[in-house]
Amino acid sequence: MKMTTYHNPVLLNESVDALVENPDGIYVDCTFGGGGHSREILEHLSEKGRLFSFDQDEDAKNNLIEDKRFELIMQNFRFLKNNLRYQGIKKVSGIIADLGVSSHQFDTPERGFSIRFDGNLDMRMNQNQKLTAAKILNEYEESALADVFYNYGELRSARRMAREVVSERKNQPFETIEQLKKLFSYIPKNKENKILAQLFQSLRIEVNEEMAALRELLVQCGEVIAPGGKLVVISYHSLEDRLVKRYMKTGLFEGEPEKDIYGNWDAPFVPVQSKVIVPTEEEIERNPRARSAKMRVAVKS
C-alpha cells in the first residue's frame, strides 16, 4: 500500500524542518500511520541518525520503511518512555506527533470513523482492545454518555442526545452508523454534518482514551527530549490544541504555575512561536482535511 493512498501528511515540510536540527540525532514519530512524516525525517538524517516510530493500528505495518536507521514500535504513544528504554534510549533529539485519525482510517468504512459511510460503530485505533463506540452507546449510563458528548464533543444538547440514545437502545441495541444517524435525523440539514462530526469525535476520543494518552505523552516528552531538542505537535480540534498550548507554555494541564519573586516559573518547554502554525490555502486546496490542523513547536529548556 502506498503512503499517498493511506494518508496525506499535513504540514509536512514545516513540521520536519522545525523538528530536525541535528542530522545525527535520535528522533521519534509518535504517529507513524502512512509513514509520511517518518520518510521525510529520514531524508533529513545522516547515516548516524535514528528514527523510532509508534503506531497502535496494525494496518500501519503495511507502510513499513526498509531503512536500517528506522524502527517501528507497535504501541500506543502513551507508552513512549518505557519502549524507548527497552531500546536502550534515554534521551532523544526531538519528537513529533500528528494527532487524530488518518485518511486511511476515515476512508475504511468498517472502521466506523466516518459519518460518510455505513459500517459498524467501532472507532478503535487499536483493534485488539474491547471498548468500541457501540459498547459505549449501549452500556454507558445516561449521565456518563452526556459527559462524553459534552466534554469531548462540546455538544450543547449533550443531555438531550444522551437521553435519546438510552431510550432508543431499549428497542434495539446500536450496531451501525446508519442507526445512530437515523436517531438524529431531525437535526437541520445545515447543521447535521457539524453536529454528527462532534458526536463522532466524542465517541472516538472516549473509545481510544485520546485525551488521557495525550497528557501522558506530553509529560513523557518533557522527560525524554534532551535540552535544546524540539517537540512538534499537530492537532485537529480545540480540545487537543488547548492542552498542547497550555503544557508547552506552563508544563501544566490545570492550575497556575508557581512563580518565583521575579515572576518566572520552571517549565519543561519554551514555545518557539507565539502564534499557532496553520496550513496554507494551497495545502488546504490539495488536502481539505488539513483545514483544521494547528501546529505548535516548543524547545526543551
Looking at 1.10.10.10, 1.20.910.10, 3.90.650.10, 1.10.150.170, the CATH number of the domain 109-208 comes to: 1.10.150.170
**Exposed / middle / buried, residue 47 (Cβ in 10 Å: 0-12, 13-18, 19+):** exposed
Same fold, 3-103+211-300 and 109-208: no
Q: What pLDDT does residue 263 have?
A: 75
Where do we find the cell 480545540?
Answer: 238
| pLDDT tens series, the chain, 301 aa | 333 445 679 999 999 999 999 999 999 999 999 999 999 999 999 999 999 999 999 989 999 999 999 999 999 999 999 999 999 999 999 999 999 777 777 677 778 778 888 899 999 999 999 999 999 999 999 999 999 999 999 999 999 999 999 999 999 999 999 999 999 999 999 999 999 999 999 999 999 999 999 999 999 999 999 999 999 999 999 999 999 999 999 999 988 888 877 777 888 999 999 899 999 999 999 998 899 999 999 999 9
Considering only CA atoms, which of 181, 188, 224 is closest in space to residue 203? 181
User: Which stretch of DSSP H or E encloses residue 300?
Assistant: strand 294-300
Q: What pLDDT does residue 105 have?
A: 78
Please give the class, per CATH, of domain 3-103+211-300: alpha beta
Question: In the 8-state DSSP scheme, what is residue 253?
Answer: S
Domain range list for the chain: 3-103+211-300, 109-208
State phi, psi for 266 to the nearest 5 degrees. -85, 125
Quickly count helices (H) and strands (E) in the chain.
Answer: 13, 7
Considering only CA atoms, which of 208, 235, 1 is closest in space to residue 111? 208
Considering only CA atoms, which of 185, 196, 206 is closest in space to residue 137? 206
Residues whose CB is less than 8 angstroms from the CB of residue 290 and which lie 6 or more positions away in sequence, other chains included: 8, 10, 11, 279, 283, 284
Q: What pLDDT does residue 37 have?
A: 97
